[in-house]
Amino acid sequence: MNASNPKFDLRGINHLALVCSDMRRTIDFYSGVLGMPLVKTLDLPDGLGQHFFFDCGGGNTVAFFWLADSPDAAPGVAAPKGRPDEGELASAVGSMNHVAFAVPPEKFDEYRRRLEAEGVVVSRVLNHDDSPSGVSRDVHPGTFVQSFYFQDPDGILLEFACWTRPFTDDEVRHEPRTAADRHAPSAL
């Protein structure tokens, strides 16, 4: 992908900040299972909590807050209840739906097997395309990304994804939906 930004010299995601219930368990998963180095830790002032950063490659980080007074998780509101292959995709406006990590296509199947060997429940492989269902059984010329999903110990939905082809100029062709469309009877 080589789309350029004429307004700002953005260089990717500095960090995505999520909230966990147990920082030790989060370190065990992100550093232990996923191999992401823990690169920065902070205790927040006045006993508010902690903020830890993990290197997820390419100069990007995933960060976690552990906050002493965080409300409990709200699956189906703040995040999907499960994985997309289980029919779970919805989360509330303003929520973080999932984090997709880019992986090399040649390592895709190996990484899936390695997570399964670690005891992580992973989805079936999804070949995302422009068909009515949005996925196909096999990779074909219309497949643009191949991925699978899994959840961290707090139920945060994660994805390993690899692009299968570059985007073309005709890929942006859908009319944007509006807030008024959210509760209107579906015209689709």
> How do residues 141-179 score in pLDDT, each as one tens digit?
988 999 999 999 999 999 999 988 888 878 877 778 777
Looking at residue 133, its pLDDT comes to 84
The H or E element spanning position 23 is: helix 23-27
Phi, psi of 15 (to 5 degrees): -160, 155
Q: How far apart are CA 16 and CA 99, in angstroms?
A: 9
CA distances from 8 to 4, 5, 15, 167 (A): 9, 6, 17, 21
CA 183 to chain centre: 26
Number of other residues whose CB lies within 10 A of the CB of residue 34:
20
Tens digit of pLDDT for each residue in 112-151? 999 999 999 999 999 998 888 888 889 999 889 999 999 9
Q: Give start and end residues of each alpha helix (H) in 107-147.
A: 108-117
| DSSP per-residue string spanning 16-36 | EEEEES-HHHHHIIIIIIS-P
DSSP state of 75: B
The pairing of strands 157-163 and 145-151 is antiparallel
Query: What percent of the chain shows pLDDT beyond 70?
Result: 95
Q: pLDDT at residue 59 above 90? A: no
Give all domains of the chain, ordered by start, each with its CATH number.
Answer: 98-169 (3.10.180.10)
Give the single-character DSSP code of 98: -
The pTM assigned to this predicted structure is 0.81
What is the three-class DSSP state of 121? coil
CB-hemisphere CA count at 13 Å for 127? 12
Measured between alpha carbons, how far is 162 from 141 in angstroms, rounded to an integer? 15
- The mean pLDDT value for 69-76 works out to 84
Q: What is the pLDDT of residues 73-115, one digit of tens each?
A: 888 888 888 888 888 877 877 788 899 999 999 999 999 999 9
